[in-house]
């Protein structure tokens, strides 16, 4: 996907192709050149209650947008009733030099609800489709049997 001007020209800002209405995609240093997506679609399914109630509220399909300050970080906030309180949960995806992580982070209780992690070698081809990220555990919800699938959206 690209954004076009009224005259049909492609929109570029600071030499970067505008691929999303809210930003121009900056290259993540851990992605192979030209493969950094402006949006990552995350599908989480099968999260159940652990130490908290309401964990099924994390399950869903989310479009995460690239962070303006960190080109290797994508996120979206949702409001759900989890751990006995309606609170903001941020669904994030981020790349490090050796892993691709997806987390559901609860702001009010300041703890992770679910975490998924995939070991990778960088540079990594970030133009992925249907990439499965295995659960990591050790959070307030039970993601042991859950699935997390990510797809780059251009």
For 78-116, how does the pLDDT look when each residue is reduced to its tens digit (9 = 90+)?
999 999 999 999 999 999 999 999 999 999 989 999 999
In a domain, 6, yes or no: no
| Residue linked to tokens 């099968």 | 46
Number of domains making up the chain: 1
CA 80 to the chain's CA centroid: 17
Radius of gyration of the chain (CA): 16
In a domain, 2, yes or no: no
pLDDT tier for residue 13 given thresholds of 50, 70 and 90: very low
- Could you give the 3-state DSSP secondary structure of residue 59? coil
On the question of pLDDT at 9 being above 90, the answer is: no
Q: Return d(Cα 68, Cα 141) in angstroms, integer.
A: 29
In a domain, 92, yes or no: yes
Answer whether 79's CB lies under 8 Å from 103's CB: no
pLDDT in tens, 43-66: 999 999 999 999 999 999 999 999
pLDDT tier for residue 150 given thresholds of 50, 70 and 90: very high
pLDDT tier for residue 24 given thresholds of 50, 70 and 90: low
- The DSSP letter of residue 139 is S
On the question of pLDDT at 5 being above 50, the answer is: no
In a domain, 82, yes or no: yes
In a domain, 121, yes or no: yes
Region of 152 on the Ramachandran plot (φ > 0 left; ψ -120 to 50 alpha; else beta): beta
In a domain, 4, yes or no: no
pLDDT tier for residue 154 given thresholds of 50, 70 and 90: very high
In a domain, 79, yes or no: yes
Range of the domain at 147: 12-153
In a domain, 3, yes or no: no
The whole-number average pLDDT for the span 115-137 is 96
3-state helix, strand, coil in the chain (%, to 5): 5, 50, 50
- The DSSP letter of residue 5 is -
Q: Return d(Cα 45, Cα 96) in angstroms, integer.
A: 24
Task: Write the CB contacts of 142 (distance below 8 Å, at least 6 apart in sequence).
Answer: 47, 48, 49, 50, 55
Q: Return d(Cα 57, Cα 67) in angstroms, integer.
A: 24
Mean pLDDT (the chain, rounded): 88
């Amino acid at each position: 996907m690209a954004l076009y001007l009224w005259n049909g020209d492609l929109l570029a800002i600071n030499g970067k192709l505008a691929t999303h209405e809210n930003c121009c995609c900056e290259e993540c240093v851990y992605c192979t050149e030209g493969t950094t997506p402006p949006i990552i679609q995350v599908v989480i399914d099968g999260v159940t209650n652990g130490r908290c109630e309401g964990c099924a509220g994390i399950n869903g399909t989310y479009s995460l947008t690239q962070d303006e300050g960190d080109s290797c970080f994508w996120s979206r906030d949702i409001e759900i009733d989890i751990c006995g309180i309606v609170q903001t949960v941020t669904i994030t995806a981020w790349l490090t030099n050796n892993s691709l992580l997806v987390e559901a982070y609860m702001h009010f209780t300041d703890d992770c609800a679910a975490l998924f992690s995939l070991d990778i070698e960088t540079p990594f081809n970030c133009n992925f489709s249907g990439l499965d990220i295995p659960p990591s555990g050790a959070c307030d919800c039970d993601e042991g049997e859950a699935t997390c699938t990510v797809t780059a959206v251009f």
